[in-house]
Amino acid sequence: MQFEQSNLFKAVQMQGIFSDSKQFADAIPKQSWEQACALYDSECPQDLTEFVARHFDFAPQPELTELQATSVKDYIGQLWQRLARDPQTGNASSLLDLPASYTVPGGRFNEIYYWDSYFTALGLMDAGHVGQVSNMLDNFVSLIERIGHVPNGNRSYYTSRSQPPVTALMVSLLWQTHHQDKAWLRKVTDALQKEHSFWMADSDQLNDELTESRRVVRMPCGGVMNRFWDDCAEPRPESYKEDIESASMLEPEYRALFYRNIRAACESGWDFSSRWLDDPEQLCSINTVQRIPVDLNALLQQLEWQLSECYAALGNSAQSACYLQLSQQRKRLIQAYLWDKEQGWFMDYHIALQTRSQVMSLAGVVPMFLGLASQLQAESMVQRLELDFLKAGGLVTTLTNTAQQWDSPNGWAPLQWFAVKGMLNYGYVKLAVTVARRWLAMLERDFEQHACLLEKYNVVEPGVRAGGGEYLVQQGFGWTNGVTSRLYRLLED
């Protein structure tokens, strides 16, 4: 059943029994959701807290208990095992079964997250846990086979959306050791092709009248680019009360669109940011589905290129040529619509206004990370990075200071990696090293005080806790551990 539609679920969430709405969305019913909901409807209990305690359990968060780490490196090494989860079957909760072991971010995030997994995998590879990275890719393949895409996370309430597509990047991590295994190659090629079809669904329906459908948008030149989306336009179960309260500020006819835009921002991984807001100060102005995101389209270009490589390795030259052509077409579209010569930066594109966004963000470095920028463009971008984005603790997410967590003054590990690797790709070693050193120095100082690593950091004022977002800053933390490990390795090399 869709438990989020039940009277029980809505009552618990709206009464605020839990400070974090996600906690009840992840609850484990002692019998089943169907039984608990039927009992609630028949009993009409007065004490909802007692009813929930009687019928539900909650998964522990063991990763930070009794952890004795003397340094950041030691902490990361100890935590890999703590963040690992064995495959489960027949779970009565919202958790989706996975065939292989997996690694979670930590804290409130006790399931896989799609794009997080790539950055976590960097550290796992460095620590010699290649088998775990292979397991993570196997889980992606399984989800694609069952659902048609890798969902936001392995929860039933996440299946209507995905996240920035990184399966191709995971394939590239394992390519050297696995690509001569034809069974593996056929398996991942089929998965990548299905993922590409998910993102491009309805593209054959677009024309001069119908220029947008789901995740595809027909550009003025006739080419097709992509946007973030969610097939559901309802409050998110994991943030149910928050979404209802935010939408209550809008007229009823605008609420479904608000929910879809909120969900689409979650598909972006940047939930939330001025990138998606028409008014940076108002979450209710969110308009994610009217943006062509630079990071998404760069990653889809990589997906198309990787498919070309896979088909070539399988000896299918026709399919290889087809996907190579698609990747080249997308590269031209990225250059035509997302490069802003005046700003010297890759920007998102506003669909309705047919102009580039004014929000400068680190999403713009993803074309450098993937080698899509020219040398002249890279030179311009590196100047911007040094003059505008570089702060005491590393690179700031955007140049816009808001109450949202994916804006200034916050910095995030995955964006540090995109930028550092992007600069190294174009020979800007000095600034790449500076960014890595500032990030690591900030983490080490914070670790001395708090003995843990966090999901995000205030890079403008290191030592001040990062704010914004719908929940307290989380400890763990998968992608911070992975990127930090990789930056240590780069400096050692």
pLDDT tens-place string over residues 388-422: 999 999 999 999 999 999 999 999 999 999 999 99
pLDDT of residue 218: 99
pLDDT at 148 over 90: yes
CA distances from 269 to 47, 404, 419 (A): 37, 13, 17
The whole-number pLDDT of residue 1 equals 73
Q: How confident is the model at residue 262 (pLDDT cuts 50, 70, 90)?
A: very high
Residue 207 burial (C-beta neighbours within 10 Å; 0-12, 13-18, 19+):
exposed
pLDDT at 15 over 90: yes
Residue whose entry in the numeric block shows the structure tokens 């994610």: 288
Say yes or no to pLDDT of 239 above 70. Answer: yes
**Count of residues in the chain:** 493
Q: What average pLDDT is seen over the chain?
A: 96
What residue type is assigned to position 453 of the chain?
Answer: L
Contact assessment for residue 114 and residue 474, using Cβ atoms and an 8 Å cutoff: no
With both helix axes pointing from N to C terminus, report the angle between 167-178 and 130-147 in degrees, rounded to the nearest 10. Answer: 130
The pLDDT assigned to 493 comes to 87
Check if the beta carbon of residue 148 is closer than 8 Å to that of residue 194.
Answer: yes
The secondary structure of 400-454 as a DSSP string is: -B-SSTTSBTEE-HHHHHHHHHHHHHTT-HHHHHHHHHHHHHHHHHHHHHHSS-B
Mean pLDDT of all residues in 442-454: 94
DSSP of 143-200, one letter per residue? HHHHHSS--SBSBGGGTT---S--HHHHHHHHHHHHTT-HHHHHHHHHHHHHHHHHHH
Pull the structure tokens for residue 82.
């703590």
Q: 460 pLDDT band (50/70/90 cuts)?
A: very high
State the Cα angle at 139 between 137 and 143, rounded to 5°.
Answer: 120
Give the ranges where 92-152 is alpha helix by DSSP (H): 114-126, 130-147
Q: What does the pLDDT read at residue 470? A: 72
pLDDT value at residue 65: 64
Kindly tell me the sign of the dihedral angle through the C-alpha atoms of 366, 369, 373, 378. Answer: positive
What are the tens digits of pLDDT across the range 360-387? 999 999 999 999 999 999 999 999 999 9
Closest CA to 104 of 143, 70, 64, 72: 64
The predicted model gives 140-146 an average pLDDT of 99
The residues, ordered by sequence, that sit 6+ positions from 154 with a Cβ below 8 Å of its Cβ are: 95, 96, 98, 102, 111, 112, 139, 143
Q: Are 185 and 158 in contact (CB under 8 A)?
A: no
Q: Structure tokens of 256? A: 């479904």
Q: What's the confidence (pLDDT) of residue 158? A: 98
Please state whether the predicted TM-score (pTM) of the whole model is above 0.95.
yes
What is the spatial distance between Cα 483 and Cα 122, in angstroms, rounded to a whole number? 7
Residue 318 pLDDT level (bands cut at 50, 70, 90): very high
pLDDT for 454 = 93
What confidence score (pLDDT) does residue 88 get? 81
Kind and range of the H or E run holding 345: strand 345-346
Q: Summarize pLDDT for 29-71 with one digit per residue, the tens.
A: 999 999 999 999 999 999 999 999 999 999 887 656 667 888 9
Per-residue model confidence (pLDDT) at position 63? 59
Tens digits of residue pLDDT in 172-220? 999 999 999 999 999 999 999 999 999 999 999 999 999 999 999 999 9
Q: Among all residues, which ones are annotated catalytic?
A: 271, 455
Report whether 77 contacts 127 (CB < 8 A): yes
H or E element in which residue 459 lies: none
- pLDDT classification of 17: cutoffs 50, 70, 90: very high
Token pair listed for 146: 């069952």
Share of the chain above pLDDT 70, in %: 99
**Residue 166 contacts residue 115 (beta carbons within 8 Å):** yes
